[in-house]
Amino acid sequence: MSDFSEELKGPVTDDEQVETSVLSGAGMHFPWLQTYIETVAIGGKRKKDFAQTTSACLSFIQEALLKHQWQQAAEYMHSYFQTLEDSDSYKRQAAPEIIWKLGSEILFYHPKSNVETFNTFADRMKNIGIMNYLKISLQHALYLLHHGMLEDAKRKLSEAETWRHGEKTSSREILINLIQAYKGLLQYYTWSKKKRELSKLDKDDYAYSAVAQDVFNHSWKTSVNISALIKMPGVWDPFVKSYVEMLEFYGDRDGAQEVLTNYAYDEKFPSNPNAHIYLYNFLKRQKAPRSKLISVLKILYQIVPSHKLMLEFHTLLRKSEKEEHHKLGLEVLFGVLDFAGCTKNITAWKYLAKYVKKTLMGNHLVWVQEEWKSRKNWWPSFHFSYFWAKSDWKEDTALACEKAFVAGLLLGKGCRYFRYILKQDHQILGKKIKRMKRSVKKYSIVNPRL
Amino acid sequence: MRGFAAAQAHGILSPGLAFPAGGLLPPLPEAALATRVTGPGGGNCRGAAMDLEEAEEFKERCTQCEAVSWGLTDEGKYYCTSCHNVTERSKEVINSDIIPNAQIKALNRGLKRKNNSEKGWDWYVCEGFQHILYQQAEALKNLGVGPELKNDVLHNFWKRYLQKSKQAYCKNPVYTTGRKPTVLEDNLSHSDWASEPELPSDVNSPFLESGMESQSDVHTRKSLRISKALQSETSVCSGSLDGVEYSQRKEKGLVKMTVPQTLAFCYLSLLWQREAITLSDLLRFVEEDHIPYINAFQHFPEQMKLYGRDRGIFGTESWPNYDDIYKKTIEVATFLDLPRFPDITEDCYLHPNILCMKYLMEVNLPDEMHSLTCHVVKMTGMGEADFLTFDPIAKVAKTVKYDVQAVAVIVVVLKLLFLLDDNLEWSLSNLAEKHNEKNKKDKPWFNFRKWYQIMKKAFDEKKQNWEEARAKYLWKSEKPLYYSYVDKPVAYKKREMVVNLQKQFSTLVDSTPTAGKKSPSSFQFNWTEEDTERTCFHGHSLQGVLKEKGQSLLTKNSLYWLSTQKFCRCYCTHVTTYEESNYSLSYQFILNLFSFLLRIKASLLHEEVSLVEKELFKKKYSVTKKKSKSKKRRR
C-alpha cells in the first residue's frame, strides 16, 4: 500500500477514533470482538439474512482488497451499497463511512478508474448524510494531491472550509482545522517555490519586489491557516515544520521558538520525538547555550535512545563541565549500541572506545562497571562473537579495530573478538593494534590493577 | 375478494368447495354461506344484490345460458350472474339521455386520478397477502405445477382462511365493526365511480386474476375514506386501511398472515396436489428468485401504497427457513381444520423410494443402493401411506419432512455399507481400487474414496458459488418502504443514490455479465457418463461391499454405530444434539453435503438420521438401550 492509503486511514478516521488515536495514540481494533458484541446485543436472536449476507459481502470485499483483486472488490461493492438502506439505523448510519473507505480504496487502484470516477464517487458520498462531508472532502483533496492536481485540491479544501451545516461539534472543529491546515500547507508549497525563485533573482531585478510581495502575502495567509491546528494536541509535524520555516524567514524567532517549545513540551500533546528534534535543530541554528541544547536532547534520549542525534548529544555532554554529564555521556553511548540498527556505526564505536578509555583513565571504573553490569550477559554474543569478528574484519577493518578495543577493555585480552583481530596481520593498522594491546593490558576492567 | 364475493353470491361455486385431486374438503358452515359476504376490501360490502337491483331494468336473455339475471361490472357493463358472460351493453348506453357516457367516464377518471396519485387505493392487508399468494401461484404454474393448484386448492385454502380468521365469508367480519356503511345518498348512481377502469375486472377470472380487490362499494368506501382521513390526521401510519389494526390484532388461536405464512399455504397446496416439489425445493426456488417472496410487494399495483406499519407486515429481510415453514405449515393446516390429505402412495414423488432415487442420482451414488434404501424404508415402515400422509385433524398433527427423511435413509444405508468410521470406508476403497485395476472391462466397483474426492470438489465449488451469490444478493426493492409520508422523499432519494452508485461501480466490473438467472431445476448437481472430468458413479456396482450367502446378500461390514445413543427426553423441542467434532469426518462430510442440498442445518439431518435409526433398530433401543454392537442384514 502506498503512503496515500496510509494517509487516508491515518489522522482522519471516524469521529471517536480521531479523538482516541490523536489523543492517546492507541487506537486498537478487534474485529472478532465486534462480532461477538453484536451477537450479544441482539440477545441470541437469529440475525436477519440481510445482515448476514451484507456482512459476508463485506468480508469478501476485504479479502479481495487484500489480494488486490480490484475487479472482484468492485463487484461485491455493487451489492454492498444496499447497506445505505439498512433498516437497522445504527448500521445505516455507519454505512457511508465504510462504503467511502472501501470504495475510495477500490477506485484508487482499479485499472478502469480515473480521477473523474473518483471525483464523482467522492461528490456522491459527501452528500449522503452530513456526517462525512468534511472527512471525505479532505481525503478527496489528498487524492488529488497524490495525482499532482494541486489547484483542484486547493479548491476542494476551500469548498470544505466554507461548508456549514448543522451544529458545530468538537470533532468537526478538528476537521475544519485540519482542512485549513492542509490548505496552509499547499500555500506553503507555493510560497517556498516562490522563495526559491526569489533567491535566484537579483535584488535589483525589476521583478524582485513583485515576487517578494507575493511571498509575503502567502506567508500571512498560511500562518493563519496553520496556527489554529497546531494549537490542538496532536502530531502535526509537516505543519509545524513549514510554519516555523516561514516564521524564521521573516525573523519572528520568538514566535517560532514559542511554537516549537509548545509543540515539544505541552503535556497535552502526545509524546513525539520529532517535536524535540525540531526544537533542538532550531536552537542549534539560533546558537543557543549548550545547557539548553542538552536539556532538549535529554528528553529525546528518554524517548529514542538510538536516535542518531545521540552521538551529538554525547559530544555535548563530553564537552560539558559537569561530572554528571560525563557519566550520562557514557550511558548514552552504551544506549546507542544496544540497538541492532546501530551495531555497525563506526562513529559510535570510536566514541565508545575513546570514552571508555578516558573514563577508566579518569578513575571512574565504577561508571563503566555500572553500565557493563546489565550488558555483560548479552553483549558478548550480540557484538563480540567470533562470527562478528570475522565478518567485521572482512567488511570494515577500522570498525573491527574499534570494536576489538572496546571488547578488550570490557572483556579482557582473552576475549575471542579481541584475540581474532590481534592475530590479523595488517600493515597500516599494525601500530594501532599494538597501541590498543597496551591500553587493554593497562585499563581492562577484567583485571583491575590492584 | 370480489372474486369470492361475487362468485359466492351468485352461487357459482358449489358450497362443497370440491377439491379436484384426492379428497374433499368439508363444506363450510351453512350459516357462513347463507349470509351475504361482507368482508374487507370494501367491495365485499357492496352486495351483489345492489348490482342486481340496478341491473333489473335490463331484461334481455343471456346469450349463453338464457337466464335473465344481470349484474353490473366495474365498467358498468352487464354480466350474467349465472354464467359470468359479459355483454357489450353497458349501463351508460341505456341512460344516455342524461349525460353523454364518454363525459362521465372522463370526469370520473379525472377525479379519481387526482385522488389516487396522492393517497393510492384503499386496500386491506389481507388483499396484499392475496396478491402475494396470487403471484406465487402463478410462479408455481410457470414451474410446471398443474393449474388446479392455483384455481382450486390454494383458492379454497385461502377462502377457508379468510373465513376462519373472520375476515370474510362469515356473519360478522372483523373489519365491519364500527364501520357500518353510512349511506351517503349522492348523485353517484352506480359502481364505476369508485372503481378503477384500468383494472381488469375480476368477473372473468375464477381466482385472484386481478390480484386484489378492485371493486368497491361507494358508500363503504366513502365512510372508510373518512375514517382513514381521520386516522391519518392523528398518528396512524400505514398505506393499507387496516395496517395498524392488523398489527395490533391479537386473538387466542388466531393464525395471523405473515409473509412466510404464504409459503406455508403454497406448500400445503403442493402437498394436497402431491406435486413433485418438496419443501426444500420450494424454499430453494424462493432463494433463487423463481418464486416471489422477498419484496413480493413491489409487484402490487402502483396504487397500492405501502408505508408505515405495512413495512413490518410485508417487508422481509430473510429467506425462509425450513424448520420455520414446516412448523407454520402444520399450524396453518390445523387452523384451517383441514381433513386428511390425499394418500402418499408408492407412485408419488414424495414417497421415500422415489425421493431416495432422486437424491442418489443427485449425489452421484450407485443406482444399486436404491434397493437397499427401499429395504430400509420397508423395515422402518416409513413407506406406508398412513405414516406418510398428512392428517391435520389427527390427534397430533404432524407431517413428514419427506426430503429430509429420504436423505436420512441414504445416510443410514451409507453407514450400513461403509460404516463411516474414517477407517473401514477407506480400506474398502483400497479393495475396490485394486479390483478395478485388475478388471478394467467389468462393471467397476464403487470406490468410496474416489467418490469422496469428486464430490468434495463439486460440493466445495457449489458452496463457494452459493455463498458468493448470497453475498451479492440485492435485497432492496425498487419501491422503498418508508415509515410515513415525511420519510418518503428521503427513502426515494436514498434509493436513487444507491442506484447511481451501483451504476457507477458496474462500469468497473468486467463487461461480461455473470450468467443470468439460473433456470429452475430440482437438481443442483448433474452427472453424466459422458463427462470424463467428473466420474459418474451411477452405474458402479456394490459387489465390493456385499457378499453372497445362499440366496441372500449380506453387507461385508457387520458393524454399525448409532448416531444418537440416548434421545433427549426433556421438554425441549429437540430430540438430540449434534456436536460436529464428536463424529467421524466422513459422516460430517456426508451430513454437510446433504444438508447443503436441502439448505438445512446439519443438525436437523442428524436428528432425522437418528429417528430413522430409532425405527430401524427398535429392538436395540427397547431391550438393551446400549451401544449397538453388530448388525447383520439380509436382503
What is the residue type of B521?
S
Closest to A297 measured CA to CA, from A319, A276, A327: A276
Question: Residue B495: closest CA among chain A residues belongs to which residue?
Answer: A85
Distance (Å) from the C-alpha of residue A170 to the closest C-alpha of chain B? Answer: 27
What is the residue type of B67?
A
Taking the CA atoms of B243, B244, B248 and B249 in sequence, report the sign of the dihedral they define: negative
Nearest beta carbon to residue B498 from set A49, A50, A85: A85
Distance (Å) from the C-alpha of residue B266 to the closest C-alpha of chain A? Answer: 22
Q: Residue B503: list chain A partners with CB under 8 A.
A: none
CA B330 to chain centre: 13
> In this structure, are residues A355 and A334 in contact, taking their beta carbons and an 8 Å threshold?
no
The pLDDT of residue A450 is 41
Higher pLDDT, B374 or B10: B374
Q: Residue A46: list chain B partners with CB under 8 A.
A: 318
Residue B403's Cβ-count burial label (10 Å; 0-12, 13-18, 19+) is buried
Q: Residue B480: list chain A partners with CB under 8 A.
A: 85
Higher pLDDT, A215 or A344: A344
d(CA B604, CA B327): 14
Q: Would you list the DSSP string of B38-101?
A: --STTTTTS-HHHHHHHHTT--PPPTTT----EEE-TTSEEEETTT-PEEEEEHHHHTTTTS-H
Q: Rounded to whole angstroms, what are the CA distances from B338 to A413, B137, B160, B161, B517?
A: 104, 20, 9, 10, 37
The pLDDT of residue B200 is 32
Lowest mean pLDDT among A269-278, B219-228, B473-482: B219-228
Q: How far apart are the first and last CA of chain B?
A: 57
d(CA B156, CA B149): 10
Confidence of residue A370 (pLDDT cuts 50, 70, 90): confident
Quick check: A220 pLDDT over 80? no
Q: Residue B501: list chain A partners with CB under 8 A.
A: 81, 99, 103, 121, 124
Nearest beta carbon to residue B497 from set A46, A71, A124: A124
The pLDDT of residue B360 is 95
Count of positions (residues) in chain B: 635
Alpha-carbon dihedral angle through residues A374, A376, A382, A388, given to the nearest 10 degrees: 150
> β-strands B70-72, B77-80: how paired?
antiparallel
The pLDDT of residue B33 is 35
Q: Rounded to whole angstroms, what are the CA distances from A10 to A237, A370, B23?
A: 14, 43, 71
Which of helix, strand or coil describes residue B564?
A: coil
d(CA A60, CA B468): 8
Q: What is the mean pLDDT of residues B318-323?
A: 92
On average, the pLDDT of chain B sits at 74
d(CA A133, CA B238): 34
Higher pLDDT, B421 or B172: B421
Residue spans of alpha helices (H) in A338-445: 346-361, 365-373, 379-382, 386-395, 397-411, 416-423, 430-443
Distance (Å) from the C-alpha of residue B154 to the closest C-alpha of chain A? Answer: 28
- Which of A42, A78, A108 to substitute to test the interface with B, most B CBs within 10 Å? A78
Question: Residue A113: closest CA among chain B residues belongs to which residue?
Answer: B508
Q: What is the mean pLDDT of residues A108-112?
A: 91
Q: Report pLDDT digits (tens) over B216-249.
A: 333 444 444 444 444 444 445 777 888 888 888 7
The pLDDT of residue A362 is 84
Enter the ipTM: 0.71
Confidence of residue B171 (pLDDT cuts 50, 70, 90): confident
For residue B308, list its beta bridge partners. Answer: B238
Quick check: B407 pLDDT over 90? yes
Q: What is the mean pLDDT of residues B175-200?
A: 36
Nearest beta carbon to residue A85 from set B473, B476, B510: B476
Q: Residue B509: list chain A partners with CB under 8 A.
A: 71, 74-75, 78
Closest to B141 measured CA to CA, from B277, B338, B341, B300: B277
Does the beta-carbon distance from B473 to A78 stay under 8 Å?
Answer: no
Residue A255's Cβ-count burial label (10 Å; 0-12, 13-18, 19+) is middle
Q: Residue B491: list chain A partners with CB under 8 A.
A: 85
- Which of B508, B510, B511, B514 to substitute to test the interface with A, most A CBs within 10 Å? B508
Confidence of residue B58 (pLDDT cuts 50, 70, 90): low
Quick check: B92 pLDDT over 50? no
Q: Report pLDDT digits (tens) over B97-114.
A: 443 443 333 333 333 444
Quick check: B190 pLDDT over 50? no
Closest to A195 measured CA to CA, from A178, A218, A220: A218
The pLDDT of residue B84 is 63
In chain A, % of residues over pLDDT 90: 16
Q: Would you list the DSSP string of A320-331?
A: SS-HHHHHHHHH
The pLDDT of residue A267 is 85
Does the beta-carbon distance from B504 to A87 stay under 8 Å?
Answer: no
Lowest mean pLDDT among A167-171, A251-255, B362-366, B452-456: A167-171
Q: Would you list which residues of chain B are within 8 Å, Cβ to Cβ, of chain A?
A: 315, 317-319, 467-468, 470-476, 480, 491, 494-495, 497-498, 500-502, 504-510
Question: Residue A86: closest CA among chain B residues belongs to which residue?
Answer: B476
Distance (Å) from the C-alpha of residue B502 to the closest C-alpha of chain A? Answer: 5
Q: Residue B497: list chain A partners with CB under 8 A.
A: 84, 124, 127-128
Nearest beta carbon to residue A87 from set B317, B471, B507: B317
Residue B295's Cβ-count burial label (10 Å; 0-12, 13-18, 19+) is buried
Quick check: B45 pLDDT over 60? no
d(CA B391, CA B394): 6
Closest to B606 measured CA to CA, from B404, B464, B444: B404
Does the beta-carbon distance from A78 to B505 stay under 8 Å?
Answer: yes
Nearest beta carbon to residue A50 from set B317, B498, B505: B317
Largest CA-CA distance found in chain B, in angstroms, rounded: 99
Does the beta-carbon distance from B319 to A49 stay under 8 Å?
Answer: yes
On average, the pLDDT of chain A sits at 81
Q: What is the mean pLDDT of residues B527-550?
A: 82
Question: Residue A111: closest CA among chain B residues belongs to which residue?
Answer: B508
Q: Report pLDDT digits (tens) over A166-179.
A: 677 777 888 888 88
d(CA B376, CA B398): 22
In chain B, % of residues over pLDDT 70: 66
The pLDDT of residue B77 is 61
d(CA A403, CA A420): 11
The pLDDT of residue B592 is 95
The pLDDT of residue B426 is 93
Confidence of residue B620 (pLDDT cuts 50, 70, 90): low
What is the residue type of A147?
H
For residue B555, list its beta bridge partners. Answer: B546
Q: Residue A121: list chain B partners with CB under 8 A.
A: 501, 504
d(CA B538, CA B535): 9
Quick check: A180 pLDDT over 70? yes
* DSSP annotation of B554: E
Q: What residue ranges do the domains of chain B occupy?
A: 3-24+120-336, 33-108, 352-467+525-634
Quick check: A203 pLDDT over 50? yes
Q: What is the mean pLDDT of residues B42-48?
A: 36
Neighbouring C-beta atoms of residue B569, cutoff 10 Å: 7
d(CA B509, CA B502): 11
Confidence of residue B56 (pLDDT cuts 50, 70, 90): low
Q: What is the mean pLDDT of residues B314-337?
A: 91
For residue B238, list its beta bridge partners. Answer: B308
Lowest mean pLDDT among A248-252, B61-65, B438-442, B591-595: B61-65
The pLDDT of residue A245 is 86
Distance (Å) from the C-alpha of residue B134 to the closest C-alpha of chain A? Answer: 25
In chain A, % of residues over pLDDT 70: 86
Interface of A with B in 53-112 (CB under 8 A): 53-54, 56-57, 60, 70-71, 74-79, 81-82, 84-85, 87, 99, 103, 106-107, 110, 112
Q: What is the pTM of this model?
A: 0.70
Quick check: B35 pLDDT over 80? no
The pLDDT of residue A58 is 94
Does the beta-carbon distance from A76 to B498 stay under 8 Å?
Answer: no
Higher pLDDT, B113 or A70: A70
Confidence of residue B332 (pLDDT cuts 50, 70, 90): very high
Q: Residue A82: list chain B partners with CB under 8 A.
A: 474-476, 498
Long-range contacts of A176-179 (CB under 8 A, 24+ apart): A176/A134, A177/A228, A177/A229, A177/A232, A178/A11, A178/A12, A178/A138, A178/A229, A179/A134, A179/A137, A179/A138, A179/A141
Confidence of residue B287 (pLDDT cuts 50, 70, 90): very high
Q: Report pLDDT digits (tens) over A28-50.
A: 555 555 555 544 544 455 678 99
d(CA B538, CA B526): 11
Name residues whose C-beta falls within 8 Å of residue A121's C-beta, 6 or more positions apart in sequence: A103, A104, A107, B501, B504
| CA angle A337–A339–A345, rounded 5-degree value | 50
| CA angle B77–B82–B88, rounded 5-degree value | 25
The pLDDT of residue B81 is 63
CA B524 to chain centre: 20
Largest CA-CA distance found in chain A, in angstroms, rounded: 86
Quick check: A188 pLDDT over 50? yes
Does the beta-carbon distance from A82 to B498 stay under 8 Å?
Answer: yes
Question: Residue A79: closest CA among chain B residues belongs to which residue?
Answer: B472
The pLDDT of residue B41 is 37
Q: What is the mean pLDDT of residues A326-339?
A: 89
Question: Residue B466: closest CA among chain A residues belongs to which residue?
Answer: A53
Nearest beta carbon to residue A79 from set B467, B471, B491: B471
* DSSP annotation of B631: -
> In this structure, are residues B168 and B7 in contact, taking their beta carbons and an 8 Å threshold?
no
d(CA B298, CA B319): 17
Question: Is A2 within 8 Å of chain B by CB?
Answer: no
Q: Residue B315: list chain A partners with CB under 8 A.
A: 87
Confidence of residue B593 (pLDDT cuts 50, 70, 90): very high
Buried b (16+ CB within 10 A) or exposed e, A400-417: bbbbbbbbbbbbebebbb
> In this structure, are residues B201 and B78 in contact, taking their beta carbons and an 8 Å threshold?
no
Does the beta-carbon distance from A77 to B505 stay under 8 Å?
Answer: yes
Quick check: B300 pLDDT over 50? yes
Does the beta-carbon distance from B470 to A53 stay under 8 Å?
Answer: yes
- Total beta-carbon pairs less than 8 A apart between chain A and chain B: 84
Does the beta-carbon distance from A50 to B475 stay under 8 Å?
Answer: yes
The pLDDT of residue B141 is 93
Closest to A418 measured CA to CA, from A347, A336, A373, A353: A353
The pLDDT of residue B625 is 42
Distance (Å) from the C-alpha of residue B511 to the closest C-alpha of chain A? Answer: 11
d(CA A333, CA A388): 20
CA A256 to chain centre: 21
- Which of A54, A70, A86, A87 to substitute to test the interface with B, most B CBs within 10 Å? A87
Does the beta-carbon distance from A74 to B505 stay under 8 Å?
Answer: yes
Q: What is the mean pLDDT of residues B540-568?
A: 80
The pLDDT of residue A92 is 86
The pLDDT of residue B324 is 92
Give the three cell numbers for residue B372.
437397499
Nearest beta carbon to residue B480 from set A50, A57, A85: A85
Q: Report pLDDT digits (tens) over A386-444.
A: 898 888 888 888 888 888 888 888 888 788 888 888 888 767 777 777 888 888 887 77
Distance (Å) from the C-alpha of residue A139 to the closest C-alpha of chain B? Answer: 19
